[in-house]
Amino acid sequence: MDDNPVVIIGAGPAGLAAGYELISRNICPVILERAGIVGGIARTESYRDFFFDIGGHRFFTKNEEINRLWEELLGDDFIRVNRLSRIFYRGKYFNYPLRPANALFNLGPVESLLIFVSYCRARLSPSPEENSFEEWIINRFGERLYRTFFKTYTEKVWGIPCSEIRADWAAQRIKGLSLLVAVSNALFGGQQSKSLIEQFFYPKFGPGMMWESFMDRIVAGNGEVRLNSEVSSIHHDTTMITAVEYSDGNTTGKLAPGHCVSSLPISRLVKLFTPQPPAEILSAANQLSYRAFIIVVLIIDISSLFPDQWLYVHSPKVKVGRIQNFKNWSSFMVPDQSKTSIGMEYFCNENDQTWNMQDNELVETATREMVELGLGEKTQVIDSYVVRQSHAYPVYDSEYKKNLQVIRNYLENFSNLQTIGRSGMHRYNNMDHSMQTGILAAKNCSGENHDLWAVNEEKDYLEEDRGVREVPAVPEKVLIGAFARMDKLAFASAVGITCGLLVLGATLWIISRGGDVLNSHLRLLAQYFIGYTVTVKGGFIAFGYSFFWGFLFAWLFAYLRNLFLAIYIYNIKRKAELLSLKDFFDNF
Amino acid sequence: METDKNNDQVLPEERLFSGVLLLNAKVVGLTLGVIFGLGIFVATNWLVIKGGERVGPHLILLSQYFIGYKVTFWGSLIGAAYGFALGTICGALMGWIYNKIAIFRQ
């Protein structure tokens, strides 16, 4: 082993991707992982040969490098899954994004009408203030739809009223789509094929399979993955991390890193520093918070419960926020196809009432709620298992940006330290984003210079599930040209003048040819243009008539063209907003 | 088609709604020319194929304007050429007038 190895703290997707990248560069890292298995919050746990994923992790990325890596590591064990995930509300399944026929059928005509009226009211008379998430959503979807489909679930996830969640956070999470991009996609299609929006990849035995494969490759390349090794302190001088101390429960170890790459929650990282950082850094770290969640796995003696991979549970009567059905992710997740394993997910804070419930109480609650939701019977539950996951979701409260910046500024003093991953950067990175930060950190260790904080911030890193690309298919100039407003008066005048000149020209042409001009067939125009004759005077009369009718029809044409175009653009924008909200749900 | 020049400071979304469409007179002319030409070509040959005692007694009236035009296949080619020329002139004129007025109104 190198005297000053690259020490990676955490064997989650980010840490393992970093390790793998280092191996490919002939650098042998040491990875320290507190848990007994790899994968971090994307690990796969098992119980009696039932596999379950902590939170459900779809494998989808726009990043070709990551995609190739996944496929290279798993090959045929990487299966394609047809996605089905719906909202479960009042005992019925609602498609998301909402489809009018499905919503109408499930909600009934009266409730649907009320939602529609509420939506119209919000659109016609939006609240001038948009300070909270509640106001932000109501302004876009109406109060009734908000209360039906947004309020309960969001409050379950975050544990605070929607009125206390800042609107700019919502706007950031939903990442408003450029109207030009939406229009371009509607006209020319998105970069990602539809199939990829409705499908995702998944390892046969859950994400853990992927992480184990990473670990095997790292070990085969002479890297080390030390499981059950919890970092106890990080020593530093003013500019460098000088040592990382860890313990496996029985023995302790100390490494002097050449580079240190940490995927520890950033708030925990600074608390492990020896000597301790200044008080303001610790104070900022204490103010960064994370949501935790508990997954109660119920093994049910029934072959099929519902066809979805997961359900969002919007009912305020139950605490469960989401229900995973693992065998619908991959049939290999259950050892016996006559059984079903579901994961009842409870969002909570570490050490709150839910977190501190005993396992048997949690199982009892989950079973009762499953019965209340009408998904199964208590007697069908034959076994259960509980997993608690702390630091699952970084909380974007009103102060987090400021606190995070304080810590970042402090950590920038240490030239051989990089933070990666979701918790490591206190950022809502998905798996691919996290892995990308790891890969870039590894590249930095070998002399390159990448800005890890740019990942998942720039447009290229946004997720696909809004079903759209972020770059228009055609240049903006062309789009703007195609959708620009037609000047009604100008168009009407132009058509009117042209029509008038055409008829005037036709009349003069006939007159100039001589002969029995008055009996020319052109005289039939008098049936419409009263007073018209095939004479010079008649030609000017026809000019007037033609101008009038040409003007009228052309004005109407231009008016309707502008109107329908505006309606078309409005619909595209609404649809894009709905699709972006799908992503919003998917990430919790 | 092209739009008027806009201030680069304006957001694309705003430009999408605030821009006024300007027509490319040549393109409009050529489009209308092709439509007119094709229209006469098809209409003539339709009657030619239908046949009958008197082929195209009404369409032949076009010959009052399009010298040399007949309701025959060769006539359809001559009519198409006339139609194309007339359509092109009308379209280009329409586009030119539209642009002049639209720019003036801004």
Q: What is the mean pLDDT of chain A?
A: 87
Q: Residue A377: how many CA atoms within 13 Å on its side-chain side?
A: 4
Does the pTM surpass 0.95? The reply is no
- Chain B residues near any Cβ of chain A (below 8 Å): 1-3, 6, 12-13, 15-22, 61, 64-65, 90, 93-102, 105
Q: Among A530, A510, A531, A529, which Cα is nearest to A521's?
A: A510
Nearest chain A residue (CA) to B106 = A487
- Among B13, B20, B82, B103, pick the best mutation site for testing chain A contact (most A Cβ within 10 A): B13
* pLDDT of A462 above 50: no
CB nearest A490 (choices: B19, B64, B105): B105
pLDDT of residue A584: 60
- Among B65, B97, B99, B104, pick the best mutation site for testing chain A contact (most A Cβ within 10 A): B97
pLDDT in tens, A497-506: 999 999 999 9
Give ipTM to 2 decimals: 0.81
Residues of A in contact with B99 (CB under 8 A): 490
Per-residue DSSP letters for A418-437? EE-HHHHHTS---HHHHHHH
- Encode chain B (106 residues) as per-residue pLDDT tens digits: 444 444 444 555 566 666 788 889 999 999 999 999 999 999 999 999 988 888 888 899 899 899 999 999 999 999 999 999 999 999 999 999 999 999 888 7
The whole-angstrom distance between A284's CA and the closest CA on chain B is: 37
Residues of A in contact with B64 (CB under 8 A): 509-510, 513, 520-521
CB nearest A481 (choices: B2, B61, B97): B2
Q: Among A459, A446, A82, A40, which Cα is nearest to A263's?
A: A40
Pairing of strands A241-247, A273-274: unpaired
Nearest chain A residue (CA) to B89 = A498
d(CA A12, CA A225): 11
CB nearest B101 (choices: A179, A477, A494): A494
d(CA A118, CA A537): 61
Q: Do A497 and B97 touch (CB under 8 A)?
A: yes
d(CA A483, CA A186): 13
Q: Do B97 and A493 touch (CB under 8 A)?
A: yes
